[in-house]
Amino acid sequence: MRAKSLTPRERVERALRGEAVAPVPFTMYESKIPQCTAERELRNRGLCIVKRDVPVYKIRHPNVKITQHVYWEGDRRFTRTYYETPCGTLTTLGEEAGFTTWWHERMYKRPEDYAALRALIADQVYEPAYDSFRRAEEAFGPDAIFRASFGLEPLQALISGSYMKMQDFCLEWMDRRDEILALYELLVEKRRRLYPLVAQSPAGHANYGGNVVPAIIGPRVFEEYYVPHYNEAAEVMHRHGKLIGCHFDADSRLIAEAIARTDLDYIEAFTPAPDTDMTLAEARAAWPDKVLWLNFPSSVHLRPDDEVEAFTVDLLNELDSCRGLIMGITEDIPEERWQASCRAIMDGLERHAREYPAKYPITPQAAS
């Protein structure tokens, strides 16, 4: 079966298994592409939507009361959330901002909050939500691939999650590391309960964390507090024939060797130079056995269409083979540029497949 007869989902699935799919599959997060004529056109050309908004599990807090208060300041919408635990009340304050949320307050505000944070984490109960995931996948059809998630890595949840601000984490890591590590250990145990739940779900692949900033944590902390959890989750996922990856979208040179030693199957959202400190060729050399699921460099969207197309071709030509390669959009694109830029990217992907067919070796499975 030739790649062009496959559905968008099947093309991504084959690339995730390490095959060379021509042209290279193109994906976008569900939150980055508005429904419109251009979206329909792109999907007709093979664009695959990455659906991350349907979880395979639910989280309950039987002993924590969670309430929200929504209010407006002019045209700005704010949500204050209250977490009433047996050991005290925590609050967050978020502001809606397009596809994302700006966090004005996180849960941690003073050392006295650690007891409530421990109570909140310990109270989490996970339940499967397989039926709703399966129904959503079937209803959407083959133009999308549905992804599961384990949430953030235990330590990363304290750095970039809703628990505390990054700068507060850095200060507390130096001043009250024992308190940080107590939260970390609780999160480790909670994540371990998720591994079989996700592995036994209908999802074929799952992300474990991401948004790691090596300049904040450094290689030693990454080796000690991140790598073991990727490998532990991967062992469970692989036992069930599932794939696991991580969202590494920042400068990754500092931790590239450590990433190579993990059992992760794919590196998701990898953003090549000029937006980070690694080229695509360097990423392939560093991680030869891992699928590279890219984020097209955001700065390039601002170039003229013909330059976007040419950049796409040149980028793929950094590799000897397009095995295990997926082009993706994981960040916002300027509203006035997304339609033209995405068309140009697809033009570049299709042009590359036509002009450099030797970079797309057909595997026995793909040829059957």
pLDDT for position 141 = 95
pLDDT band for position 100 (cuts 50, 70, 90): confident
pLDDT for position 282 = 98
Q: Which CATH architecture has domain 3-61+124-367?
A: Alpha-Beta Barrel (3.20)
Question: For residues 227 and 265, is the Cβ–Cβ distance under 8 A?
Answer: no
Domain ranges of the chain: 3-61+124-367, 63-109
Give the rounded percent of residues in the chain with a pLDDT score beyond 70. Answer: 97
Q: Assign 153 to helix, strand or coil.
A: coil
Average pLDDT over residues 175-194: 98
Q: Residue 62 pLDDT more than 80?
A: yes
pLDDT band for position 5 (cuts 50, 70, 90): confident
Average of per-residue pLDDT values in the chain: 95
Indicate the pTM of the whole model. Answer: 0.94
Q: Residue 34 pLDDT more than 60?
A: yes
pLDDT band for position 1 (cuts 50, 70, 90): very low
pLDDT for position 368 = 41
Which helix (H) or strand (E) is 37 found in, with range? helix 37-44
Q: Assign 299 to helix, strand or coil.
A: helix
pLDDT tens string 68-79? 999 999 999 999
Q: Residue 367 pLDDT more than 80?
A: no
Beta bridge partner(s), residue 291: 266
Strands 48-51 and 26-29, how do they pair? parallel
CA gap 20, 2 in Å, rounded: 11
Question: For residues 325 and 319, is the Cβ–Cβ distance under 8 A?
Answer: yes
Question: For residues 144 and 50, is the Cβ–Cβ distance under 8 A?
Answer: yes
